[in-house]
Structure 1
Amino acid sequence: MHDLHTHVVPPATPFLDRLVTADPRWARLEPGPDTGDVLVAGKIFRTVRRVAWDLDARRDAAQAAGVTGQLLSAMPELFAPWAPPADAVDYARAFNDWLAGELPRHGGFYAGLGVVPLRDPDAAAALLADVAGAGLVGVELPAGPPTAALHTAAWAGFLDEAERLGLLVFVHAVGGPGVADYPHPMAANGVLFPASIGTAIGGLIATGAIAARPRLRLLASHGAGSLVTELPRIDFLRDTTPALRELMPESAVESARRLWYDPLLFDAALLRLLVDVVGADRIVLGTDHPFMPVDPVSFLDDPLLPAGLAAAVRTHNPAALLGLPAS
């Protein structure tokens, strides 16, 4: 059972001494015996359990629960989308070096995704060779980068390079600036996360960016959120708009079937709809560990879902995406 949507909080951030005092917006951990506080701009953003940063304890607990491996990605608050490009490059290099250095210490239990500077897509693309060279399997991106959407020309070089290098691109849902309009952050999370990831993946499909890169490996968090409701509308418009057909050499559904998805839709019927559209082989286990208070994918065993889906999601499909033996 390989979990491909899990997050890590480094025990020390932002790594570089000159950044520690440069800006309080850098997320940092203040660890305690059993829990730690993640501070952003001097305020507690989230209290996390020890397994968020103690990778030995995390591995032992996960293996006891039957997990055979985890793909580690940065806690989204570590993206630092506000960071100036030069600082963001240095920070990304430091995070990636730290994560790459941790992986060999745990007997192959972990694989890792790097981060990149978000205000300079060209610099992000230039960093991908180092990501691959360090032994990381890919990179994590927010669904809404700060200066340009992922489907725009600004990110084309990045996507081309990720495809060339065979790196996995994990697109993670985000709240964005609208969070401040909600009285509680979890209310914003419930509304904005599905919208943000659906918009990001839908944009990549509707602009032909996915069709143009048939070897790009892209994993969408949270089941791509609203995407499954967008695909029929996109294809209706494609069928009736010659200019859109030129932009999209294949249907939206065909493009969607090239991608991978975690099952974090919180509902068996909704996951069944996604499976019916993209195929049972495109769903990989992802639990958002260690930030969910209970198992968010227990519904995988719901009889409404196709027979064998749970086993495929937990074992065969993650192995196929990462190129691992299915056992």
Structure 2
Amino acid sequence: MRIDIHSHVIPDRFITALKKTPADFLARLETHGEHAKVIHDQGYVYPLFAEFRDPQAKLESMDRKGIDISVISPAPPMFYYWADIELALRVAGLVNDGVADMVAAHPARLRGMATIPMQHPDAAIAEMERVVREYGFKAVEIGTSIEGAQLSEGRFRPILRRAQELGIFVFAHPYYVGAKAGLEAYYLTNLIGNPLDTTVMVANLMYSGVLDELPDLKICLAHGGGFVPYQIGRLAHGHKVRDETRADSATSPRQLLRRFYFDSLVFEPQALRYLIDLVGSDRVCIGTDAPFDMGDEEPAKAISAIPGITQHEHDDVCCRTALTLLAEGQSGF
């Protein structure tokens, strides 16, 4: 069995509301023949692929890639972290209820992941509790930063603590926020900027003491953890020799690395081999980033190409790690 932990949707509930009153959402839908795209005032522009909104199209894509189960999460433009509390809660409700609709249509093959309005912590906690209570969601997707604010900041701690108490996991996903010097050309805002944002988030979580304070919090990192696995030695060395890095945590980043889970989306078999050797196969799971063009169209091939992969490692990456995150046993399938 193969479980994809990183698969995006934009549910019809949101699209219907956007069509009706685009000004309310500071975004619009443009259609040219059979092709539609969503344009956000914040700067996002992306094609509205059928797989984003149609559960059957999602299943057809999964079948093509050899995926048995997908944990579907809102596309990052659905975060709306800049919005006031009324709009932020409206978008989160539309999106999360829409995700639940898709899961209800195919409960054997889809699992839901919610978005929450992080910029309004009390509202974020309330929405997180609602989706767990009403839909049994086992995960929330959170940006690696919140309009530039770091997840390690004290105001976000109650949200992370409540996620730990609820036993759900956090899927940390970067998203484009503002200009990044030197990354303007060649799509580097994504190619380098996204893994960089993940790296900055992880370093702040490690050094700030958040992971010490919340020992049972489960965090899964998109895109193989960004640059963290490759630079963990530098982070650990800095913790040893620099007083600044020990101000809030006495725990070495090397010890904290296995507090994270990682998806497989690195596009290089040798890099996946290194990641498994570094953190263990029980911390790595499939991620496709479907249906974006930076996704993996052949995840089964990517796993099989890992040099020297054992059957145990293969089964961990394909399903056992994801089952651990979802707190589900194979008997449930």
1:4/1:70 contact within 8 Å kept: yes
Cα offset for 1:77? 1.2
Aligned residue number for residue 314 of structure 1: 318
Aligned residue identity for 1:93: G
Provide the C-alpha distance between the structure 2 equivalents of 1:27 and 1:184, rounded to a whole number of angstroms: 26
Report the Cα distance in structure 1 between the residues aligned to 2:64 and 2:270, rounded to whole angstroms. 30
Pair 1:221-2:222 in alignment: yes
Which residue number in structure 2 is paired with residue 122 of structure 1? 122
Closer/same/farther in 2, CA of residues 91 and 76 from structure 1, 3 Å limit: same
* 1:131 Cα deviation after fit: 2.0
The match for 2:304 among 298, 301, 304 is: 301
Q: Is the 8 A contact 1:14 1:27 kept in 2?
A: no
In 2, the alpha carbon distance for the partners of 1:204 and 1:262 equals: 18
**1:113 shift after superposition:** 1.0
- Work out the CA distance in 2 between the residues paired with 1:31 and 1:98: 25
- Please report the TM-score for the alignment, with normalisation by the length of structure 2: 0.86
| CA gap 1:38/1:66 in 2 versus in 1, 3 angstroms | same
* Shift, 1:47, TM fit: 1.8
Q: What's the offset of the Cα at 1:186? A: 2.5
Query: Deviations along 1:215-271, whole A, 9 cap, x unmatched?
Result: 111111011101124422232233335675463243212221021110112222222
Please report how far the alpha carbon of residue 170 of structure 1 lies from its aligned counterpart in structure 2 after TM superposition. Answer: 0.6
1:93-104 equivalences in 2 (<5 Å): 93-104=93-104
Deviation (angstroms), 1:290: 1.3
**2 CA distance for matches of 1:18 and 1:63?**
30
Query: Per the alignment, do residues 31 and 274 of structure 1 end up closer, same or farther by CA in structure 2, a change over 3 Å counting?
Result: farther
**Cα drift, residue 81 of structure 1:** 2.2
Identity level (%): 24
Q: Match of 2:142, SS?
A: strand
State the distance in 2 between where 1:42 and 1:229 align.
32
Instruction: Give, in angstroms, the shift of residue 138 of structure 1.
Output: 1.7
* Structure 2 unaligned blocks of 5 or more: none
Query: Within 2, Cα distance between the matches of 1:212 and 1:42?
Result: 35
Distance change >3 Å, CA 28–CA 219, structure 1 → 2: farther
Match of residue 9 from structure 1 = 10
1:307/1:32 CA distance change after superposition, 3 Å: farther
2:213 is equivalent to residue 212 of structure 1: yes
Q: Deviations over 1:58-88 (max 9, x none)?
A: 2144235432110011111111222112210
Aligned to 2:79: 79
Deviation at 1:31, TM superposition (A): 9.5
Distance 1:189 1:44 in 2: 12
Counterpart amino acid of residue 27 in structure 2? W
Q: CA deviation at 1:164?
A: 0.5
Q: Partner of 1:178 in structure 2?
A: 179
SS of 2:89's equivalent in the other structure is helix
Aligned 8 A contact 1:37 1:44 in 2:
no
CA distance in 2, matches of 1:8, 1:107: 16
- Aligned match of 2:199: 198
Within the alignment, does 1:236 sit opposite 2:240 as a pair? no
Name the CA distance, whole Å, in 2 between partners of 1:27 and 1:108: 33
User: Which blocks of at least 5 consecutive residues in structure 1 are unaligned?
Assistant: none
Q: 2:163 — aligned with what?
A: 162
Specify the code of the residue in structure 1 equivalent to 2:7.
T
Tell me which moved more, 287-296 or 14-23: 14-23
Farther off after superposition, 102-111 or 295-304: 295-304
Contact 2:118 2:124 in 1 (8 A): yes
Mapped to 1, the partners of 2:241 and 2:157 lie a distance apart of 27
What SS class does the counterpart of residue 247 from structure 1 fall into? Answer: coil
Compute the TM-score of the two structures, normalised by the length of structure 1.
0.88
Equivalent pairs, count:
326
Displacement of 1:55 in angstroms is: 0.4
**Secondary structure of the structure 2 residue equivalent to 1:39:** strand
1:15/1:95 contact within 8 Å kept: no
SS in 2 for 1:321: helix
Which secondary structure state, in structure 2, belongs to the residue aligned with residue 211 of structure 1? helix
| Residue matched to 2:40 | 40
1:12 Cα offset (Å): 4.3
Q: C-alpha displacement at 1:296, in angstroms? A: 6.1
- Give the 3 Å change call, closer, same or farther, for CA 250–88 of structure 1 in structure 2: same
Query: 1:318 is aligned with what amino acid?
Result: A
8 A Cα contact 2:139 2:170, kept in partner? yes
Counterpart residue identity of residue 302, structure 2: F
Shift, 1:211, TM fit: 2.4
| CA–CA distance in structure 2, aligned partners of residues 59 and 107 of structure 1 | 12
**Pick aligned residue for 1:323 from 323, 327, 333:** 327
Q: Which amino acid aligns with 2:327?
A: G
**Would you say 1:112 and 2:98 are equivalent positions?**
no
The alignment's C-alpha RMSD in Å is 2.9
